[in-house]
Structure 1
Amino acid sequence: MPLPLGLADVTNPSMVPTLVPGDRMVLRYRARIRRGDVVVVRHPFRHDLLIVKRAAERRDEGWWVLGDNPYVPNDSREFGVVPDELVVARAVLRLRGPGDVQRSPLAIARWLLGAVRPLSSRSRRLRAR
């Protein structure tokens, strides 16, 4: 049986500041989802499109998901509740690429300290919208 882990690239700014375009995520498939988790879901109107959002609230029909960036409205405010069968995975780690890191030892040390960050439900407080 294959491990229930995978990698995904972030290409959209909807989760800024938690995730920025160019970040990678380590995903855990078939993971239990809790309020506050960062999740990958299939878009309810375009099942071929995977999107990254925060599971904000559990409802009878599924999950109410929101992006961390209030200026990108492509979330449950636009398309409603995401049914459970469209939840693909929970993001467990953020991997930040080196980007434009300068080659000084201090710059490299700063990048190393922030390059890998857990994405738990306790890593960020939810804000009401």
Structure 2
Amino acid sequence: MEEPVGGPPGGGPLPFGVADVAGPSMVPTLHDGDLVVVRYGARIRPGAVVLFRHPLQQDLTLVKRADGRRRGGWWLLSDNRPVDSDSRQFGAVPDELVLGRVLFRVRPRPAWLAPSRGLERTLLAGPLARVPGLARRLGVWLSPER
């Protein structure tokens, strides 16, 4: 069963965005450094890869696979099961924290999507820059196909 989810962070006008995957939690599906195109507000169903806000630290966004509905929201799991930064650690993720569905990955990173050196240093600074499965939203918006 598909479930609708929220729109783009900050209420942006377009329902598409790009996120940068960091860490090994989604290997073999996604790898560190992959870019993924996200459809905000898309319907979610079990088996879909989703972008969401961490329930305990909502300034972090992560990418996981939707395993199914549970009381309180979605049960989201890493594809790389030894990495337990998923619902096994923080429980079901409420619907309002699920931002959208990953449509596809872009690998290797196209040069035209690479952030500037200054922005890249800012994004990669800090102790949480390499949290497994962390997807840093780059603020690059794509036009929807018509």
Per the TM superposition, whether the score is higher than 0.5 is: yes
Matched, 1:36 2:79: no
The CA distance in 2 between the partners of 1:2 and 1:81, in whole Å, is 29
Matched, 1:45 2:22: no
1:8 alignment counterpart: 19
1:55 alignment counterpart: 66
The CA distance in 2 between the partners of 1:55 and 1:25, in whole Å, is 16
Higher relative contact order (CA 8 A, sep 6+): 2
The CA distance in 2 between the partners of 1:97 and 1:7, in whole Å, is 14
The CA distance in 2 between the partners of 1:90 and 1:21, in whole Å, is 18
TM-score (norm 2): 0.65
C-alpha deviation, 1:74, in angstroms: 0.3
Could you say what the CA RMSD is over the residues aligned between the two structures, in angstroms?
1.2
Flag structure 1 segments of 5+ consecutive residues without an equivalent. 99-129
The CA distance in 1 between the partners of 2:34 and 2:24, in whole Å, is 11
CA contact (8 A) 2:71 2:92 kept: no
| 1:73-88 mapped onto 2 (5 Å cutoff) | 73-88=84-99
Aligned residues: 98
TM-score (norm 1): 0.73
Letter in 2 for 1:35: P
The CA distance in 1 between the partners of 2:58 and 2:65, in whole Å, is 18
Structure whose residues are more often strand by fraction:
1
Matched, 1:90 2:101: yes
CA shift digits 1:54-99 (9 cap, x unpaired): 000112311000000012100001110000000011100111116x
C-alpha deviation, 1:9, in angstroms: 0.4
Q: Which protein shows a greater Rg?
A: 1
**Off by >4 Å, runs of 4+ in structure 1:** none
The CA distance in 1 between the partners of 2:70 and 2:91, in whole Å, is 11
